[in-house]
């Protein structure tokens, strides 16, 4: 028996080394902990960490609850619900049937379907791409879907409590209901008050959070429902902005500490795969990587979203959720899950977490390929936005990209009554571009878009997206028009200038110049100048907001 200090040494050193490698290669770390556990498991007794991994569950779920913002569901609620519904109907239920008929029993079949249905916001937010584009439509859809998945997973865990912990369903539900009400009361009355009297002391907020967490968990254990439920409600009690900022920041290191132990110990429980566990794992992996994204894409297209959004969203939902791992480990602790199912789920989760890093990195290319090769389209009647050209285009300006910067230029062109046409494929901007006289909602890489825009007779082409291939496409056009493209790096910008660009916008440079102008005005100007500048900026912002709404 290795002492606990050595155990921690093994857990953290192995995890850190592998996590560094995984971070470098895949930009995510959770699978690294699991693999560290598989390696470390060779030196540890199988059950050495079982008690400690429950701490991991507690903190991971707690933080999830504390970070939960129901507001995020506002955008794309309908699409996400349809999405989740189709996941359940399309793969969850059929495979429940298949496994049930194959003799796995109700409980094990439920575990497999859960692994097939649920994807996770925890892995998701670790992926750089998803994080960066959360402001984009597909990112928001994916996030909303993830949140619904996670909450459903918690509800499933609650509903399974009677089976797992031998307690009456009515009893379990009423206790959970009581805890929920208690959590809401704490959230509404107690924590705001504590936050105030503690003068937002980090240490006291941390202790208050942990107090509630351990209390809720002890109650859960006492009445025989899953600790996940207690931890989640404790998190909910703290999810109110802005109190949650300080707390999450503090508790996060505790979560990191125990989460590493959690995933490590899961890995340590992995045994050499048997045929049965391999078949289960392969089924889950295949369905998650290939079938689930298709279901996502189909449901979103039928909700009226364009192909691009649908595919990109689908590619961020192609992993098995950690909540499924948590569900499985809970079942494992009370020996309510068959060994091959347990092994299969851990294996499948680890593999899909790694593959999702890849599909995330190459989502642009995969989406292009899918668009070209699959006969899926957003049904005509459901499409929300359409291309139109209403005036004769000559000596006009072509504006590629209509995000904030493009819109700003568009505003100005409208003001001086100059003819222009917008080319953009990002559904994000359709809303703000839908009233333009001339708009082409097609890719700037298609020649068709340029023919429509009558590029040969344009006076100027301004391309605002930073993608290299778009800038290169613009530079390759055979026209007399003045070409302005954009690049985010000076080196690339310089090479564009050498090619055929008349000017390259480097946003950092432009923004820096403008900011220096403003700051100089603010620090050297008198009160009046500052006030004028402030009003001007506010006015500008207000105008934009009105137009946006």
Partner 1 sequence: MFDIAVTEGLFITWDLVVLIVTATTLGYIAHKTYQPNLVAYLITGIILGPVFLNIVQETALLEVISELGLALLLFLLGLQLKFDAIKNILKPVLRIAFWQTVLQTSLAFVIPYLLGFTLLETTVIALCTVFGATPVIVKLLDEKDEINSLPGKIDVGVLIVQDLYLVLILTIFSAPDLSQPLVIATNFIKVMGLMALLAVFSYAVSRWVLPKVIEEVGNNKHLLFLNGAAWAFLFISLSLYLEVSVEVGAFIAGLGLAQSPYSEELKQQVKPITDFFMMVFFATIGLGLTPEYLTAYWKRAIVASAVLMVGNFLIMLYLIDREKFSPETSFLGSINMVQVSEFSLVVGALAVTRGLVGNEILGYLSLMAVITMGISTYIIKYNHEIYDRVEHLFEFLESEEKGDMDIKTLKDHAIIIGYDEITRRLIPVLKEKYGDVVVIDKNPKYVETMKDENAEFFFGNLKHGEMRRTIGLERASIIIGLARDEAINRRILEKKRKDAITFLRAKNREEAAELYDLGADFVIIKRMLSGEKMTEYIEAFLEDPKLFEEKIEGDKQVIDWEARL
Q: Which of residues 314-373 bind partner 1 (CB under 8 A)?
A: none
How is residue 453 annotated by DSSP? T
- Take residue 510 and report the two structure tokens written for it: 């432009």
Binding status of residue 413 toward partner 1 by CB under 8 A: yes
Binding status of residue 250 toward partner 1 by CB under 8 A: yes
- Take residue 25 and report the two structure tokens written for it: 């290669």
Binding status of residue 500 toward partner 1 by CB under 8 A: no
Residue with tokens 């006969």: 375
CB of 76 to partner 1, least distance (A): 16
Contacting residue, 110, 336, 453, 493, with partner 1 by CB under 8 A: 493
Binding status of residue 485 toward partner 1 by CB under 8 A: no
**Residue 467: helix, strand or coil by DSSP?**
coil
Contacting residue, 136, 240, 256, 278, with partner 1 by CB under 8 A: 256
Binding status of residue 25 toward partner 1 by CB under 8 A: no
Quote helix, strand, coil % in the chain, to nearest 5.
70, 5, 25
Contacting residue, 69, 447, 448, 513, with partner 1 by CB under 8 A: 513
Contacting residue, 102, 132, 382, 522, with partner 1 by CB under 8 A: 522
Binding status of residue 43 toward partner 1 by CB under 8 A: no
In terms of Cβ atoms closer than 10 Å to its own Cβ (0-12, 13-18, 19+), residue 515 is exposed
Phi and psi at 2, nearest 5°, equal -80, 140
Task: Look at residues 537, 400, 541 and name the one whose alpha carbon lies nearest to residue 477.
Answer: 400
CB of 151 to partner 1, least distance (A): 23
What is the distance between the alpha carbons of residues 133 and 243, in angstroms, rounded to a whole number? 26
The answer to whether 313 and 141 are in contact (CB under 8 A) is yes
Helix axis angle, 322-333 to 137-165, nearest 10°: 10
Contacting residue, 71, 170, 197, 478, with partner 1 by CB under 8 A: 197
What is the distance between the alpha carbons of residues 496 and 468, in angstroms, rounded to a whole number? 10
CB of 515 to partner 1, least distance (A): 6
The stretch among 104-112, 137-145, 349-357, 511-519 that binds partner 1 (CB under 8 A) is 511-519
Beta bridge partners of 486: 505
Helix (H), strand (E) at residue 91: none
Binding status of residue 254 toward partner 1 by CB under 8 A: yes
Q: Considering beta carbons, is residue 201 or 479 the nearer one to partner 1?
A: 201
Q: Considering beta carbons, is residue 117 or 127 the nearer one to partner 1?
A: 127
Contacting residue, 170, 373, 435, 545, with partner 1 by CB under 8 A: 545
Binding status of residue 480 toward partner 1 by CB under 8 A: no
Residues 435-464 that bind partner 1 (CB under 8 A): 460, 462
Binding status of residue 199 toward partner 1 by CB under 8 A: yes
Residues 260-279 that bind partner 1 (CB under 8 A): 260
Task: Look at residues 364, 375, 382, 379 and name the one whose alpha carbon lies nearest to residue 425.
Answer: 364
What is the distance between the alpha carbons of residues 98 and 161, in angstroms, rounded to a whole number? 24
**Residue 348: helix, strand or coil by DSSP?**
helix
Helix axis angle, 4-26 to 339-361, nearest 10°: 40
CB of 412 to partner 1, least distance (A): 5
CB of 357 to partner 1, least distance (A): 14
Q: Considering beta carbons, is residue 272 or 524 the nearer one to partner 1?
A: 524
Q: Considering beta carbons, is residue 63 or 300 the nearer one to partner 1?
A: 63
- Take residue 172 and report the two structure tokens written for it: 């379990």
Q: Considering beta carbons, is residue 101 or 197 the nearer one to partner 1?
A: 197
Residues 124-163 that bind partner 1 (CB under 8 A): 135
């Amino acid at each position: 028996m290795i002492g606990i200090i050595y155990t921690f040494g093994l857990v953290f050193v192995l995890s850190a080394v592998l996590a560094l490698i995984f971070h470098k290669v895949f930009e995510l770390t959770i699978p690294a902990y699991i693999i560290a556990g598989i390696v470390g498991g060779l030196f540890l007794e199988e059950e050495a960490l079982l008690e400690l991994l429950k701490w991991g569950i507690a903190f991971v779920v707690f933080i999830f609850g504390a970070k939960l913002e129901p507001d995020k569901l506002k955008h794309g609620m309908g699409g996400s619900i349809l999405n989740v519904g189709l996941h359940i109907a399309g793969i969850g239920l059929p495979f429940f049937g298949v496994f049930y008929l194959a003799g796995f029993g109700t409980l094990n079949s439920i575990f497999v379907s859960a692994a097939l249905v649920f994807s996770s916001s925890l892995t998701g937010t670790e992926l750089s791409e998803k994080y960066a584009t959360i402001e984009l439509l597909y990112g928001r859809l994916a996030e909303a879907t993830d949140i619904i998945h996670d909450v459903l997973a918690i509800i499933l865990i609650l509903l399974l409590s009677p089976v797992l912990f031998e307690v009456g369903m009515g009893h379990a539900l009423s206790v959970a209901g009581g805890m929920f009400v208690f959590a809401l009361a704490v959230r509404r009355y107690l924590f705001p008050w504590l936050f105030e009297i503690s003068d937002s002391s980090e240490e006291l907020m941390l202790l208050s959070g942990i107090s509630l967490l351990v209390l809720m968990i002890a109650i859960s254990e006492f009445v025989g429902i899953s600790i996940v439920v207690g931890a989640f409600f404790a998190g909910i009690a703290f999810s109110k902005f802005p109190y949650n900022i300080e707390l999450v920041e503090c508790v996060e290191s505790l979560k990191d500490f125990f989460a590493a132990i959690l995933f490590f110990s899961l890995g340590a429980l992995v045994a050499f795969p048997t045929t049965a566990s391999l078949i289960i794992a392969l089924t889950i992996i295949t369905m998650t990587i290939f079938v689930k994204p298709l279901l996502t894409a189909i449901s979103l297209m039928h909700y009226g979203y364009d192909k691009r959004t649908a595919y990109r969203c689908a590619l961020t939902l192609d992993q098995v959720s950690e909540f499924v791992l948590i569900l499985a480990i809970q079942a494992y602790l009370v020996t309510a899950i068959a060994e091959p199912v347990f092994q299969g789920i851990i294996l499948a989760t680890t593999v899909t977490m790694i593959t999702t890093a890849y599909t995330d990195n190459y989502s642009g290319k995969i989406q292009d390929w899918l668009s070209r090769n699959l006969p899926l389209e957003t049904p005509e009647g459901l499409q929300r936005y359409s291309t139109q050209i209403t005036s004769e285009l000559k000596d006009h300006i072509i504006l590629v990209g209509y995000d904030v910067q493009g819109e700003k230029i568009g505003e100005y062109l409208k003001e001086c009554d100059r003819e222009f046409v917008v080319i953009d494929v990002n559904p994000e901007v359709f809303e703000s571009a839908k009233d333009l006289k001339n708009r082409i909602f097609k890719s700037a890489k298609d020649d068709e878009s340029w023919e429509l825009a009558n590029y040969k007779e344009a006076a100027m082409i301004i391309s605002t997206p930073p993608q290299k291939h778009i800038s290169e496409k613009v530079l390759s056009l055979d026209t007399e028009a003045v070409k302005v493209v954009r690049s985010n790096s000076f080196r690339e910008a310089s090479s564009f200038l050498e090619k055929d660009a008349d000017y390259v916008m480097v946003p950092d440079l432009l923004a820096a110049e403008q900011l220096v102008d403003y700051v100089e005005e603010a620090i050297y100007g008198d009160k009046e100048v500052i006030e004028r500048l402030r009003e001007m900026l506010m006015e500008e912002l207000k105008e934009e907001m009105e137009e946006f709404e």
